[in-house]
Structure 1
């Protein structure tokens, strides 16, 4: 029951953050949601920070296959943005959790490190896409392109009903 219970705790914490925000995350409530005693949660996660790290891993792990490896750089970026739009529209709770974690990370140095480490792969993948060809507007460096995409996706995810339009406009602005 170890891995299953651990995953149930992660999903319960994820759901709590999605529904009540980061400030609504209480270990006692997470334990109750899973049907265990509060003290038992510490057998799976010694600290609340450990549980939060597992939630970050769960949330960010859902993005691993959103950047295609084949095609031109511009086609790969289009496909990536399309996959993100679909995720924003179909799983708004995922993005609500991620934005809650982003906001909390501005005040919590240990969470900031965790979030930055998990975003490193996304940032590196985008930077590599922007290095591949000269399909971008003049003056757009690979690192600036990556940061522009990340910031726009994060902002667009706050309003799922307009995300498709916003990310389409981003695409039009940066791809020649």
Structure 2
């Protein structure tokens, strides 16, 4: 009787790159960006250094891969619920809910994002990768505030760009709180919302 030979699934290039990105993100959470070493990434993925360098030959390529993986995660999250036909206020609340979900379900995303943004302030190469991604997030909020001004759910004198900076800054600050000076997420978002909504006449 002939025995069946075991079959092995060959990992695709995309799957390997996803594994590298996941390992790099986990190591950034554990050791910080300064402690990120290619040999540690290779060991965690189960590949040799040569194979790792084939997929990410430079530091910039590795950071780009990590940033792309986070961008794709955030995009998938946003696409799960349609924003079509929603008011500016409704979309703002959805963004708050998505951010809270990230804090609860994938807190490493916020940790890694914070690490990369801080490093980008001192590294032009990383800045060129992270700045467009970070600004895209801000532009999304600015669009929500413009919509809210137009549809009447926000005050007519709200400056969309300033409001976007205030909101994203507050959310990022909340995501990296490490002292006792803090409030609940609900308190934060309620106060932010109250700053922009059009109050009904009493």
* TM exceeding 0.5: yes
Gaps of 5+ in 2: 1-10
User: Displacement, 1:71?
Assistant: 1.0
- In structure 1, the partner of 2:7 is none
**Would the aligned equivalents of 1:130 and 1:146 in 2 still touch at CA under 8 Å?**
yes
Which has a greater percent of helix? 1
**Would the aligned equivalents of 1:88 and 1:163 in 2 still touch at CA under 8 Å?**
no
User: Displacement, 1:138?
Assistant: 5.9
- In structure 2, the partner of 1:11 is 22
**Would the aligned equivalents of 1:27 and 1:38 in 2 still touch at CA under 8 Å?**
yes
Match of 2:50 among 10, 35, 39: 39
- 1:79-137 deviations in whole A, cap 9, x for unaligned? 11122112112221111111111111111111112111112332222111111224334
- In structure 1, the partner of 2:37 is 26
User: Displacement, 1:42?
Assistant: 1.0
Distance 1:85 1:30, change over 3 A: same
- In structure 1, the partner of 2:174 is 156
- In structure 1, the partner of 2:100 is 85
1:101 aligns with 2:116: yes
Structure 1 segment 26-175 matched on structure 2, within 5 A: 26-64=37-75, 65-66=77-78, 68-132=83-147, 133=150, 134-137=152-155, 139-159=157-177, 162-175=184-197
Partners of 2:19 and 2:106 in 1: CA distance: 19
Question: Considering only aligned residues, what root-mean-square deviation do their CA atoms show, in Å?
Answer: 2.0
**Would the aligned equivalents of 1:73 and 1:135 in 2 still touch at CA under 8 Å?**
yes
**Would the aligned equivalents of 1:22 and 1:100 in 2 still touch at CA under 8 Å?**
yes
4+ residue segments displaced more than 6 Å: none
TM-score under structure 2 length normalisation: 0.79
**Would the aligned equivalents of 1:27 and 1:48 in 2 still touch at CA under 8 Å?**
no
User: Displacement, 1:40?
Assistant: 1.9
Partners of 2:68 and 2:19 in 1: CA distance: 14
Partners of 1:38 and 1:69 in 2: CA distance: 46
